[in-house]
Structure 1
Amino acid sequence: MCRLSNIVLCLLNCCTLIISLIAIFAALHVRNHGGTACQKFLQDPVLIVGIFFFVISLFGLIGSCCRLNSILYLYLIVLFLLILALMAFTIFSLLVTNKGIGQAVSGRGYKEYRLGDYSHWLQNYVVSDENWIRIRSCLIDTLMCHNLAKEFNGREADFFNHNLSPIESGCCKPPTYCGFKFKNATYWVIPKAGPAVTDSDCTAWSNKQTILCYDCKSCKGGILANIRKEWRHFAIFNTCVLTVITIIYCIGCCATRNNYKHSYRYP
């Protein structure tokens, strides 16, 4: 049993070590060879997570292969704290995403999104002015709106009946209540009398492809709608990760206990 638990723990940590190395090298490659603004925005979190799991996996390998309980104890403490952190984040993500749904628009196949419909935490910390500069760069890099314009060039009825994603609806076109006239998905004509509603999103809209509605509250609402959806999916993924880490933690506890019995029996 002592040998088996150590072998299993060693194999599991070999897998996480390889994955962490891939993440580290990918982040360093982006750092050293340039990349888009969006890729640079993601490189630091990926690098930090990669280094964290590399160190933890290294502790697990040394402790299991060399049967060093002092290292395994440290490994188990970190795993236990990681389990608590994942549980806390899962609960927190569900709490801050419990509000916010799209508003149906009459005669349209898509919904529109309002920034004020989401929790204050998401508004203040996720789409804050500081973060929005980076998020905006990511939106431009993806060419999402550019591709949408190519798909529905001049086809007004098809566009209005299309089920746009939250980001497409909020960032690639002006809000419907502005009363702008459709030319293509990302080009809208402002009436001579001006917008139908005096609203900051209507005045923020620009037909320039690098501006569009990227500075609109509706765009931030679309981003938060997408985050809400992804975080809900991530909560399910987190549950699976928690299960795996808990199993590894139990195997580590078993290896530590068996190592202690083995060393006590054969001094």
Structure 2
Amino acid sequence: MVRLSNNLLGILNVVVFVLSIPIFIAGVWLANQASSECEKFLDKPMIVLGVFLMAVSLAGIIGACCRVSCLLWLYLCVMFILILLIFCFTVFAFVVTNKGAGEAVSGRGYKEYKLGDYSHWLQKRVESGKNWDRIRSCVQESKVCQKLANKGDSVQQFFRQNLSPLQSGCCKPPTECNLQYVNATYWSGKISPGSADNQDCKEWNNDPSVLCYNCNSCKAGILASIKDDWKKVAIVNVVFLVFLVIVYSIGCCAFRNNRNDNYYMKR
């Protein structure tokens, strides 16, 4: 008689196998139908993740339900490595995203962001020429600045807004440049002499294709968004880790059952 842990492990892996199918299909669809590099960014990871989940879940189903000990042993090894990797990534994500926060601006509802406030590891990844070219292209394609400009806010309305890090860092010049508001993405006047050391003031351009996309404040806005996303992912990972540990424990029980059954069959 197949033990309870074997049945439970088999059911859990059937669920994982079913979930892996839409992930794989979504990856293939993105690879063939996406119209830009930004949309294709996740195609390969999703295909790899879908295939990986299929393979691991099949090993778990066959190993648990058909009592194939070698497959179940392989399944447990992969699960252990996966738990270890997710644990390390979660700790790393919390450490890397510990630094950095927006700075409040007097008389403004939004915050401004400085690249130097964030971890050096994240700064290097974002500042890399190849990486930044791709990120900047994706920000431009998202039309986040165009949508902000289309709102047509008055200067008072704009200054009261709680802008996102991307909007604050990429769509407008830093406040210390002392430019005059015309609309969200168009500012007039001359740069304040006191801000001559701020390279972002020199990088700013009213051209909708330029704006502050080459500014350090834009890179800082990206990092602020990454920081928030990574913290959310890290919290989800903690929950996922607990689930994986439970599944791994059930798998260990099923493996022990297989060994006991094989032992009695040989006797």
| Counterpart AA for 2:103 | Q
| Counterpart AA for 1:87 | F
| Counterpart AA for 1:98 | N
Q: Which residue of 1 aligns with 2:53?
A: 53
1:6-155 aligned within 5 A: 6-151=6-151, 153-155=152-154
Q: How far apart, CA to CA, are the structure 2 residues paired with 1:60 and 1:35?
A: 37
Offset of residue 65 of structure 1:
2.4
- The Cα offsets for residues 71-111 of structure 1, whole Å up to 9 and x where unpaired, read as 11011011001111111111111111111111111110111
| Counterpart AA for 1:185 | A
Give the 3 Å change call, closer, same or farther, for CA 135–247 of structure 1 in structure 2.
Answer: same
Offset of residue 225 of structure 1:
0.9
- The Cα offsets for residues 113-164 of structure 1, whole Å up to 9 and x where unpaired, read as 000111110011244222112211221222221111122x141111101111
Q: Which residue of 2 aligns with 1:248?
A: 247
Unaligned runs of 5+ in 2: none
| Counterpart AA for 2:254 | A
Asked whether the equivalents of residues 59 and 71 of structure 1 are also in contact (C-alpha less than 8 Å), the reply is: yes
Q: How far apart, CA to CA, are the structure 2 residues paired with 1:137 and 1:45?
A: 20
Question: Which aligned runs of 4 or more in structure 1 are off by greater than 6 angstroms?
Answer: none
| Counterpart AA for 2:56 | I
Larger CA deviation: 165-174 vs 140-149 = 140-149
- The Cα offsets for residues 185-210 of structure 1, whole Å up to 9 and x where unpaired, read as 11212x2x445422321122222223
1:200-239 aligned within 5 A: 200-239=199-238
Give the 3 Å change call, closer, same or farther, for CA 231–101 of structure 1 in structure 2.
Answer: same
Asked whether the equivalents of residues 191 and 201 of structure 2 are also in contact (C-alpha less than 8 Å), the reply is: no
Unaligned runs of 5+ in 1: none
TM-score by length of 1: 0.93
CA root-mean-square deviation = 1.6
* Number of aligned positions between the proteins: 264
Give the 3 Å change call, closer, same or farther, for CA 117–51 of structure 1 in structure 2.
Answer: same
**% same residue:** 48
Larger CA deviation: 125-134 vs 233-242 = 125-134
Q: Secondary structure at the match of 2:101?
A: coil
